[in-house]
Every structure is written in C-alpha cells, then in structure tokens.
Homo-oligomer: A and B are copies of this chain.
Amino acid sequence: MLEIVAAIDIGGTNTEIGLVDRAGACLCRSALVTTDFADPQEFVVAAHQLISQLVETASAQVALCGIGIGAPNGNFYHGSIEFAPNLAWKGIVPLVDIFKRFYRVPVVLTNDANAAAIGEGMFGAARGCRHFIVITLGTGVGSGIVVNGELVYGHDGFAGEIGHTIVDPDGRQCNCGRRGCLETYASAGGIKRTVFELLAHSNSPSLLRSKSYEELTARDIADAASEGDAIACEAFEITGRILGLKLADAIAHTSPEAIILYGGLAQAGELIFEPTRRHMENFTLNIFKNKVRLLPSALPQGLAAILGAAALVWNELEKAV
C-alpha cells in the first residue's frame, strides 16, 4: 500500500485535487469548478466523491493518510476560510470541520501562499533551508515566512501578509480598503497599473498603447519587454525597485537565506528577477548584503499549489510522529 495524501488547491474559479505521495509525486489529479458550489457543504460532498474516484482509479493501491487544503484567506489555527473576497462563501467557513464529517484522517488547511512556502521547503527551491520566504506574485501578492524550519502563523494564524505592507500610504487604492500596499505595485495587476501611468506620462511609442485596461495582461507586458518596448521595460524596472525595497524590509525582519518568487508575474523570469535582485541588494542593510538568494520556484508549473497543499499535511503528519 502506497501512503498518499489528498491535496486540494481551492481557487476562485477552479479547485484542483490530486493524490500525492511522500516524495512529492502526484499520482493523479482532477478538478472541480469552485463557482458551481454556492454552499461549501455541497462543495465538500463533491470533493469527497472526487477523492474516492481518484483513490479507486489510482495506478497503485493507496492508503489515504491525510488531507491538505490551500485556500485564499485560509487560517491554519481555525481550519477555516475567513472573509475571502474572491470566493462565493461569505463570512467564516469551517472547512476542516466539514471535511472531518467524511474522514477520520487529519485534515489541515492554510492559505495558499503558506502552502506554497511549505511546498518549496519540502519539495522545491527551499529544500534544506531553515529560514526563507516565498512571495506569490499573482492576482495579489501573498507570502509565507519560514523561520527555523517552521511556517510563521503568528498569534492569530494570519502572519505573512507582506503583500499588504505599505509602499506609499497615499498611493494606489488596494482591494484591502487601504492605499499603497505592495500588492498594488508588484502583482500582475500592479505592473499593469504602472504601465498605464507610464503610457500617460510619456510620449514614447509602445506596443501596449493598443490594449485597453481590461485587455492588457502581465504576459503582454513581458512579451513587449522581451521585444525591447521601452514602456514595458521601464514598468519592470519600477516594479523591481518597489519589490526590492520591500524585500529588503522583509530581510531586516527575519533574515532569510533565500526568497522565492512564484506565480504569474514571476514567470517573466529575469525581466522581473534582475531589477528586483539589484534593488533588493541596494536597499539591504550592509550586514545582509550578498547573503540572500532570490530564486524562482522549483515546483513544477501547474502542480505547485497541489504539492504545497500536500506538503502541508505531510509536514503535520511528520510532526505528529
């Protein structure tokens, strides 16, 4: 019998579910449409059915050891999703309790960026590191901070919100209700806002002048920068400067040996890594200079969130031994 966990990555649109072994191999996976379920109870019934199907059809005989869930606004201590702006389930959803009606194995939940951090530590770019930070540069900017090999949850389970540290208290409006959060600059939407400011400010010709705000994507900006588009290149430079500045602040807090960038905007590769690394080093206090590696995720594209959710529960199972 091969020991496996069911890993569940809940996104605003889709939920991915996979069976993952202790070494981080995903045996099989499938998906649900999150938005099909107005009620979280119905969602769990459907997830339970899907996991049973995966277990039955897996290529090996498997023993289910636990369930790991990564979700937006997931709280590890409470086992709940709390006030997630991008989900239809409002208020506090005690998802772990609902799952436990169907399972006697451990069920663990955390937010998606924390799951990514545990995944990178167990299977990815931070393997062997005891002090590191994972930053997800996607629709928003999430983070998971690891100190002494343990994820930092803080006293309420919500620690690691580097995306909501403040770059400029009079700056851009953020979905969190405040202004000038890192997320409004260093996310996929943030670099788009920077491009629109630059298009307004300068007269330079740009490939990006033909796209509406709704049309323009971070991928378009990366493609334009690869072709040498001055506006797109400057947008990456500005984004890297702001991200580098706030990463230098993060280094001053927990002094990690590595920071891993992950998610849509990180896929722009050196376009975002080079300016971020340069400015991070420039803004970093002397004693930390040239010590912190800025790395891309080493989790396979498309599987990262599932491996993160799997690592979360393997991690807890190991602690329980």
In contact, A169 and B245 (Cβ under 8 angstroms): yes
Residues of B within 8 A of A145 (CB): 253-254
Q: A: which residues have CB within 8 A of B?
A: 82-83, 129-131, 145, 147-148, 150, 152-162, 164-166, 169, 176-178, 245, 248-250, 252-257, 283, 285-288, 291
Indicate how many identical chains form the complex: 2
| Residue in B130, B152, B155, B166 whose beta carbon sits within 8 Å of that of A248 in the complex | B166
Residues of B within 8 A of A165 (CB): 248-249, 252-253
Known: A158-B287, A169-B283, A178-B283. A252 touches B164 (CB 8 A): yes
In contact, A164 and B285 (Cβ under 8 angstroms): yes
In contact, B283 and A177 (Cβ under 8 angstroms): no
In contact, A153 and B255 (Cβ under 8 angstroms): yes
| Residue in B148, B157, B249 whose beta carbon sits within 8 Å of that of A166 in the complex | B249
A253 nearest CB neighbor, chain B only: B253
Residues of B within 8 A of A130 (CB): 155
A161 nearest CB neighbor, chain B only: B252
In contact, A152 and B161 (Cβ under 8 angstroms): no
Known: A148-B152, A160-B253, A166-B248. 6 other contacts (CB 8 A): A155-B255, A155-B291, A156-B287, A162-B253, A176-B286, A178-B285
Q: Give min CB distance, A87 to chain B, whole Å.
A: 15
Residues of B within 8 A of A166 (CB): 245, 248-249, 283
Known: A176-B285, A176-B286, A249-B165. A256 touches B291 (CB 8 A): no
